[in-house]
Chains A and B, each alone.
Chain A
Amino acid sequence: MAGRAFQVRRWPGGVAAGLVAMLILGTLLAVALRAEAGRGLGPSDWAAIRFTLWQAVLSSTLSVMLAVPVARALARRAFWGRRLVIAFLGAPFILPVIVAVLGLLSVFGRGGILNVALRFVGLPEVTVYGLHGVVLAHVFFNLPLATRLILQAWQEIPAERFRLAAQLGFGARDMARVIERPMLRRVVPLAAAVIFALCISSFTVALTLGGGPRATTVELAIYEAFHFEFDLGRAALLALVQIVLVGVAAVLALRASVAEGFGAGMDRVVTRWDSGGLRQISLDFGVIVAASLFLLVPILMVVVEGAAGLWRMPVQVWSAAGVSLAVALVSTAIMLVLALPIAIAAAAWRGFEAVGLLGIAASPLVVGVGLFIVIFPIADPFTLALPITALVNAVMALPFALRILVGPVRDVVAGYGRLSATLGIGGWAWLRLILLPRLRGPLGFAAGLTAALSMGDLGVIALFADAETATLPLQMYRLMGSYQMEAAAGAAVLLLGLSFGLFWVFDRGGRNHVDA
Chain B
Amino acid sequence: MLTLENVMIRQGDFTLGADLSIDAGARVAVIGPSGAGKSTLLALIAGFFAPDSGRIVWNGRDMTGDAPGARPVAMVFQDNNLFPHMTVAENVGLGLRPDLRLGPEEKARVEEALGRVGLGGYDGRKPAALSGGQQSRAALARVLVQDRPFVLLDEPFAALGPALKAEMLDLLQEVLETTGAGLLMVSHDPDDARRIAPQTILVADGRADAPMPTDALLDDPPPVLRAYLG
Instruction: Point out residues on A near B: beta carbons under 8 Å.
Output: 1-6, 415-416, 418-419, 421-426, 428-429, 432-434, 437-438, 514-516
Contacts and interface: CB of A to CB of B under 8 A. Distances in A.
B95 A423 contact: yes
B170 to A, nearest CB: 24
Given A426-B67, A426-B98, A429-B98, 9 more contacts: A2-B9, A3-B49, A5-B48, A418-B77, A419-B83, A424-B67, A426-B69, A437-B85, A515-B84
B99 A422 contact: no
A423 B98 contact: yes
B49 to A, nearest CB: 5
A434 B80 CA distance: 13
Interface string B70-87: 100111010011011110
Interface residues of B, number: 34
A457 B12 CA distance: 51
B94 A423 contact: yes
B89 interface: no
B84 A4 contact: no
Interface string B43-60: 000111111100000000
B77 A419 contact: yes
B99 A418 contact: no
B178 interface: no
B182 interface: no
Interface of B is mostly: loop
Contacts of B83: 416, 419, 433-434, 438
A433 B51 contact: no
Contacts of A434: 83
Nearest to A434: B83
A169 to B, nearest CB: 45
Contact of B86 (A5, A424, A433, A514): A433
Contacts, number: 88
A419 B154 CA distance: 12
Contact of B47 (A416, A421, A438): A421
Interface string B1-21: 000000001111000000000
Nearest to B14: A1
A422 B77 CA distance: 10
Contact of B50 (A4, A432, A438): A4
A424 B85 contact: no
B156 interface: no
A437 B84 CA distance: 10
Contacts of B49: 2-5
B128 A515 contact: yes
Contacts of B149: none
A1 B12 contact: yes
A419 B95 CA distance: 11
B50 A2 contact: yes
Nearest to A513: B85
B211 to A, nearest CB: 23
B133 interface: no
B68 A424 contact: yes
Interface in B174-227: none
B93 to A, nearest CB: 10
Contacts of B165: none
A418 B48 contact: yes
A438 B127 CA distance: 14
10 contacts: A2-B11, A5-B48, A418-B48, A418-B68, A424-B68, A424-B70, A425-B98, A426-B98, A433-B100, A437-B86
Contact of A424 (B11, B69, B80): B69
Given A1-B12, A4-B50, A421 B69 contact: yes
B95 A516 contact: no
B116 interface: no
